[in-house]
């Protein structure tokens, strides 16, 4: 019983803190980090503009490179090493065209990776709020049934109690997932900045 009350108190305190905090731009965004909905090429890239009207997907080598370094489980160090090797292999006379196009492709793919994470985080936030409401409802139901109830009332109380504990565990499991996943968009942002620096370093190299 004490464990249950402690869990419920933690949930209520969390909800109260969120209610008293300044409302976020997106109410479904559960992270303390500010939500940047879309990464812009100009935020990271100060070199030549990518060539207009060129589809990077049509360049098999470039498409393979982007596929290799864009997944979110690729570390910044590994991705940067691959990009460095790619940039060195591009003839100096072609770098002003190829490297900006490569970075534009990386921005596009990174946004796709981030969009998937952001969408998942919002879904988890909605689910966690729903669980919190169900937990509060079960708390009210448990308070309405005396702990020493017998017969059908005792069976009902036991069923509510079991469900309540499962919901609390799910609530905290989701909270842990959110805490971890909230780091991912920022990590992808930082990695994209590292990628930009690697490619830009080769623009003036002869």
Using CA atoms, how far apart are residues 192 and 44, in angstroms rounded to an integer?
Answer: 8
Model confidence at 20, in pLDDT bands (50, 70, 90)? very low
Q: Give the phi and the psi of residue 54 in degrees, each rounded to 5.
A: -105, 125
Please state, as a whole number, how many other Cβ atoms lie within 10 Å of the Cβ of residue 138. Answer: 20
The CA angle 175-178-179, to the nearest 5 degrees, is 85
Q: Which of 111, 118, 81, 116 is nearest to 192 (CA)?
A: 111
pLDDT at 190: 96
User: What's the whole-number mean pLDDT along residues 113-117?
Assistant: 96
Q: Give the phi and the psi of residue 82 in degrees, each rounded to 5.
A: -65, -40
pLDDT at 77: 97
pTM value? 0.81
* Spans of all domains in the chain: 2-8+43-200
Using CA atoms, how far apart are residues 133 and 127, in angstroms rounded to an integer?
Answer: 10
pLDDT at 139: 95
Mean pLDDT, rounded, of the chain: 89
pLDDT at 26: 82
């Amino acid at each position: 019983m004490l464990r249950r009350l402690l869990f419920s108190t933690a949930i209520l305190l969390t909800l109260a803190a969120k209610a008293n905090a300044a409302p976020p731009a997106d109410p479904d965004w559960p992270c303390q980090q500010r939500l940047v909905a879309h990464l812009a090429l100009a935020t990271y890239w100060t070199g030549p503009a990518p060539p207009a009207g060129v589809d990077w997907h049509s360049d098999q080598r470039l498409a393979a490179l982007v596929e290799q370094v864009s997944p979110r489980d690729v570390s910044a160090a590994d991705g940067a090493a691959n990009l460095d090797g790619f940039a060195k292999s591009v003839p100096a006379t072609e770098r002003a065209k190829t490297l900006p196009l490569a970075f534009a492709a990386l921005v596009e793919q990174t946004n796709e990776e981030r969009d998937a994470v952001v969408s998942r985080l919002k879904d988890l936030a909605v689910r966690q709020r729903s669980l919190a409401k169900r937990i509060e409802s079960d708390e009210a139901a448990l308070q309405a049934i005396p702990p020493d109830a017998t017969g059908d009332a005792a069976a009902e109380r036991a069923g509510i109690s079991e469900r309540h504990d499962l919901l609390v565990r799910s609530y905290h499991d989701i909270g842990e997932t959110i805490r971890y996943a909230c780091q991912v968009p920022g990590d992808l942002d930082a990695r994209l900045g590292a990628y930009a620096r690697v490619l830009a370093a080769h623009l003036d190299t002869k």
